[in-house]
Structure 1
Amino acid sequence: MTAVAPEEFVGELRALAPRYWDSHPFHLRMHAGELCKDELRLWAANRWYYQRCIAQKDAAILSNCPLPDVRRQWRDRIVWHDGTRPGEGGAENWIRLAEAVGLSREEVLDERHVLPGVRFAVDAYVNFARTRPWVVAVASGLTEMFSGALMRKRLAALREQYPWIAEEGFAYFTHRIQAVSGEGQATVDIVVEHSVTREQQLEAIAALSFKCDVLRALLDTVDYYAGKS
């Protein structure tokens, strides 16, 4: 099969937007102010497991990539999540959010609240990055194309609907909104440049679809158990 033009390929990737988790019922309830404190804590504790593993996912991509230019660009993602020293980075900011909704640092770090379905979905994502071709794994991260709008909406909703959350708890979102302000264009450029056959383009589309499934599976699990509380 002949590869389609870059514009058409990017359009196929963007067409997956309805599969993103922005319209998930749990997110809709969150934005409407309908979550109780225990539900927010369950969400924060489980989302932590995803945040903790993102740097490992990116390190797996880095280890599989033979191109120095791409590796130099990609390593910044690990630094963003892990920081350059203890007490910095996106993962640390997520812990601050968890503390702001009433969890202790200890119970976040020991992962006592992480649900089996969440662990299974996130581990599958990390394993995907370890075992698939590096450009396919990069393509799985193109949910960046959709995440900026969701984060802006979530930050506004959390501030309005849950005024008891201290402002310092929102550091993850304020920093991440800036990081994804380009809607993943740098990642799109990498995927387009290195997906030179139609088969590779279709693999990239399938990878992004898989990532959307991972995110929705995470939230499906949290939503189910939140309903049991």
Structure 2
Amino acid sequence: MTLTAPTPQDTHGVLSPDDLEAALREHVQSYHHQHPFHLRMNRGESTPEEIRGWVANRFYYQVNIPRKDAAILSSCPHPEIRRRWVRRITDHDGTHPGEGGIENWIRLGEAVGLHREKLTAHQHLLPGVRFAVDAYVTFTRTRGWVEAVASSLTELFAPNLMAKRLEAFECHYTWIDPAALAYFRARIDQAPRDSEHGLEIVREYCTTAESQAAAISALSFKCDVLWSQLDAIDQAYGPR
């Protein structure tokens, strides 16, 4: 799977909200839970080096999630939407030091053997991962806010992935402290709430053929971003 800039697709007529949702949900077929790296990890076949490489590089994506959400907030003109969307930022940043999803990910990093200082300084970051994540943040800053919301709808598929990942870590990677898996436990509940809100927005505001095509293309682009990250990680740390 390659990382490509999204372009609105040609379409004839306007989809109903249900048909638009169905078209968005079809992207589960290209979601990164099908990537060979994730499949091996869920089967318990990943080495400690692979786990550390994945945790270290995925961290760059984690710290950029609040930045992309802030970009969406900055261009969204509706206070009622902003009031709900801002919770995503506090989920990751926390409301006090030592709280939130980013801190939970750092603790996961420490549990797999990474030093906090090196992790937070991105000393393990691969160029391909940096490129993919930066492309996603740039997308949310430069495209319309509804299109940016649509790109976040990979969250539709996240709860199942998180549940399987948590099960795999608890079953196969017993050398990792179970308390360090708090990020995955939290996202099992947070992702459905977030995806419900994002889907509600896209269904309401994507009412033209052009806006619907842009939303579908945005989600396709986000799937490419996630897949490309794993391509880079797999090439660096996967089996030779």
Question: Shorter-chain-normalised TM-score: which range?
Answer: over 0.9
Matched, 1:39 2:46: no
| Residues 37 and 238 in structure 2, CA contact (< 8 A), matched pair in contact too | no
**Pair 1:172-2:183 in alignment:** yes
1:111 and 1:143 map into 2 onto residues whose CA distance is: 24
What's 1:187 paired with?
198
Following superposition, the deviation at residue 228 of structure 1 comes to 7.1
- Which of the residues 182, 186, 211 maps onto 1:200? 211
Determine what percentage of the aligned residue pairs are the same residue: 53
Distance, in Å, in 2 between the alignment partners of 1:144 and 1:66 is 23
- Runs in 1 of length 4+ with deviation above 6 angstroms? none
Alpha-carbon offset, residue 2 of structure 1:
3.4
Contact kept, 8 Å, 1:148 with 1:183, in 2: the verdict is no
Residue number among 97, 104, 110 corresponding to 2:108 in the alignment: 97
**Retained in 2: the 8 A contact 1:79–1:89?**
yes
Whole-Å Cα distance in 1 between the matches of residues 151 and 103 of structure 2?
24
1:221 counterpart (204, 209, 232): 232
**Residue of structure 1 in register with 2:3 after alignment:** none
Report the counterpart of residue 137 of structure 1 in structure 2: 148
How do 1:1-229 and structure 2 match up within 5 A?
2-182=13-193, 184-227=195-238
Partner AA of 1:190 in structure 2: I
Distance (whole Å) between structure 2 residues aligned to residue 192 and residue 181 of structure 1: 16
In 1, the alpha carbon distance for the partners of 2:194 and 2:157 equals 7
Unaligned runs of 5+ in 2: 1-11
CA drift of 1:54 comes to 0.4
Instruction: String of CA shifts for 1:27-59, please: whole Å, max 9, x gaps.
Output: 011011111111110000000000000000000
Moved more, 44-53 or 32-41: 32-41
Q: Which has the higher contact order (CA 8 A, sep 6+)?
A: 2
Gap change, CA 1:228 and 1:159, over 3 Å in 2: closer
Shift of 1:183: 7.4
SS of the equivalent of 2:192 reads coil
SS in 1 for 2:238: helix
Greater mean alpha carbon deviation, residues 42-51 or residues 67-76 = 67-76
Aligned-partner Cα distance in 1 for 2:86–2:112: 31
Asked if the contact 1:61/1:129 (under 8 Å) is kept, the reply is yes
- Please report the TM-score for the alignment, with normalisation by the length of structure 2: 0.93
> 2: distance between equivalents of 1:106 and 1:228?
28
Which deviates further from its counterpart, 71-80 or 121-130? Answer: 71-80
Q: TM-score, normalised by structure 1?
A: 0.97
Cα deviation, residue 102, structure 1: 0.6
Residue by residue, what CA displacement relative to the aligned partner does 1:1-26 show, whole Å, maximum 9, x if unpaired? 53211111101001111110001000
Query: Distance in 1 between the 2:31 and 2:49 partners?
Result: 25
Amino acid at match of 2:227: R
Paired letter, 1:146: F
